Amino acid sequence: MTQPSAASLPELTPAQRTEVELLARGRQDRSRTLRDLNLPETPEAAHALLLRLGEWTEARTPYADRLRAALDPVNLPVPDFDPHEDRLDLTHLPAYAIDDEGNRDPDDAVGVEALEGGLTRLWVHVADVAALVPPGSALDHEARARGATLYLPDRTIGMLPDELVEKAGLGLHEVSPALSICLDLDADGNADAVDVVLTRVRVQRLAYLEAQAQLEAGAEPFVTLARLARASRLLRESEGALSIDLPEVRVKADESGAVVSPLAKPEMRTVVQECMTLAGWGAAIFADDNEIPLPFATQDYPTREVQGDTLPAQWARRKTLARTRFQPSPGPHHGMGLDLYAQATSPMRRYLDLVVHQQLRAFLAGRDPMSSRVMAAHIAESQLNADGTRQAERLSRRHHTLRFIAAQPEHLWDGVVVDRRGAQATVLIPDLAFDVPMSTPAAPGTELRVQFVDVNLPNMTVRARTV
């Protein structure tokens, strides 16, 4: 199909622009304007036309729109915490909310407490969001309709109002209400007991690198947290947990451009991740012991075993993982090496974490939790919406990564062949956490110097060649 040159393109009337934009945003299927210009009636062609006409800039991303992800903030009223609710006072125990620099929704914190008999109590405090978002409330319906917070390179659209984050975020006030999960762990990472309680905590916020400096200086409780995390990780690996270590990046963007920067991985990042895993395991054990239906996270056995720690091995190992499923009854999560598990530490950001908290709160208050049947319906609805959110994030990150690549056309990137099928190889660029197909005879594990050409934002494509 012959496409008109930029010089021959007419200026769009307001009605034509609206029509083309609706197609580019995936809000209608046809465009007479594109048809008259002898262009395909596709969102990609509409996007390309708007770029050529200068109606859109390269910063514009239509993917959340196309996937029906909500882009407007939640403006519903947020209640206050009940000041008279009975809570265990833990303000005497240090607790730390450790996250990336600039994090705006601190919803978990960690601390430890020495016990008799050589046990250590791991405390994972989680923002008590369910105290402000009871089941069936307007906030609950809105959060379920969104499924998760939408994190885009140029903005964040919360699953819940910013006002709720300000009220419930840990460390944003001198004392914070929390729903706390504790596990009494021995030196080998086994849990002697688990419990879930409503608490008041005093939380200090730290970036990962700040916490890492404390660990390297031998400061407590960071040394103890690291010891517990290492023991837990070894125990899970003995039960078949998979370790996957692939490059990760942070993508930030605005109208002026995009920046892709490798994500630092100090040990304290994995320590916090392991503590969150233990909290999910503890919440699942507590719920199972007390017959509380939760959206338990389960995963089938990997499709095959992959040995080695090279990038091709890590790449292949990730492809063996089945998708995590959520169901009202417990089951094993083989990728994590756990007999049961529930995501429980991000109720501000993930709807099913919020449901876990609602169910645990109902039990603690002596009320009947929602039934398995009702929960199954909530799981299905929220997962459908969360899937759209996650896909919009992936596409938007790719779009802005391509902007970053296009802004430096002469740059040579270090790449590694991580897979191949016949004459086609998959080359991973670690500094971008970006993979691209290439025709090369190089074997997996081969390091290449790669240059990108022909970036096409509307079609989300780029060509690569070895140098």
DSSP string, 348-384: TTBHHHHHHHHHHHHHHTTPPPPPHHHHHHHHHHHHH
The answer to whether 99 and 208 have CB atoms below 8 angstroms apart is yes
Neighbours of 348 (CB within 10 A): 25
Instruction: Tell me the Cα Rg of the chain.
Output: 25
Distance CA 336, CA 341 (A): 9
- Give helix 14-24 / helix 43-52 axis angle, nearest 10°: 130
Is 46 strand, coil or helix? helix
Q: List, as own/partner pairs, every contact residues 332-336 make where C-beta atoms lie below 8 angstroms and the sequence separation is at least 24, other chains included.
A: 332/298, 332/299, 333/297, 333/298, 333/299, 334/240, 334/299, 334/300, 334/301, 334/302, 335/241, 335/242, 335/299, 335/302, 336/236, 336/241, 336/277, 336/299
From the list 399, 440, 398, 432, the residue with the least C-alpha distance to 413 is: 432
- Fold annotation for 6-56: Arc Repressor Mutant, subunit A (1.10.10)
| pLDDT number for residue 2 | 42
Residue 7, pLDDT score:
54
Residues comprising the chain, all counted: 467
Under a CB-based contact definition with an 8 Å cutoff, are residues 113 and 123 in contact?
yes
- Profile the chain (467 residues) by mean pLDDT over runs of 10 residues: 54 94 96 94 97 95 95 96 96 96 89 95 98 97 96 96 96 97 95 97 96 98 97 95 94 97 95 98 98 96 90 95 94 95 97 98 95 92 92 97 97 97 94 96 95 96 94
- The answer to whether residues 31 and 19 touch, using CB atoms and an 8 Å cutoff, is yes
- Looking at this protein, which amino acid is placed at residue 39? L
Position 18, amino acid = T
List Cβ neighbours of 177 (8 Å cut-off, separation of 6 or more). 81, 85, 87, 128, 131, 168, 198, 199, 200
For residue 14, the surrounding DSSP H or E stretch is helix 14-24
Cα 311 from Cα 309, distance rounded (Å): 7
Assigned token pair, 188:
């080998």
Per-residue model confidence (pLDDT) at position 1: 37
The encoded tokens of residue 334 equal 């083989």
Nearest by Cα to 452 from 467, 433, 431: 467
The DSSP bridge pattern shows strands 447-456 and 461-466 to be antiparallel
Write out the H or E segment, with its range, that includes residue 259: strand 257-262
- Exposure on the CB side of residue 350, measured as CA atoms within 13 A: 17
Residues of the chain with CATH 1.10.10.10: 6-56
Pick the CATH number of 408-466 from 2.40.50.140, 3.30.2320.30, 3.50.50.60, 3.40.50.720: 2.40.50.140
* H/E run at residue 385: helix 372-406
C-beta separation of 295 from 342 below 8 A: yes
Q: What angle do CA 195, 342, 272 make, to 5 degrees?
A: 75
> CATH 2.40.50.140 in the chain, residues?
408-466
> Which strand ranges, in their side-by-side order, compose the sheet holding 176-185?
88-89, 191-201, 176-185, 120-127, 108-114, 95-99, 203-207
Span 194-236, pLDDT tens digits = 999 999 999 999 999 999 999 999 999 999 999 999 999 999 9
CB 150 within 8 A of CB 69: yes
Strand ranges inside 116-159, DSSP E: 120-127, 150-152, 155-157
- With contact defined as beta carbons under 8 Å apart, do 282 and 270 qualify? no
Closest by CA to 401, choosing from 457, 458, 445, is: 457
Cα distances (angstroms) measured from residue 262 to each of 99, 247, 250, 394, 433 = 16, 7, 6, 16, 8
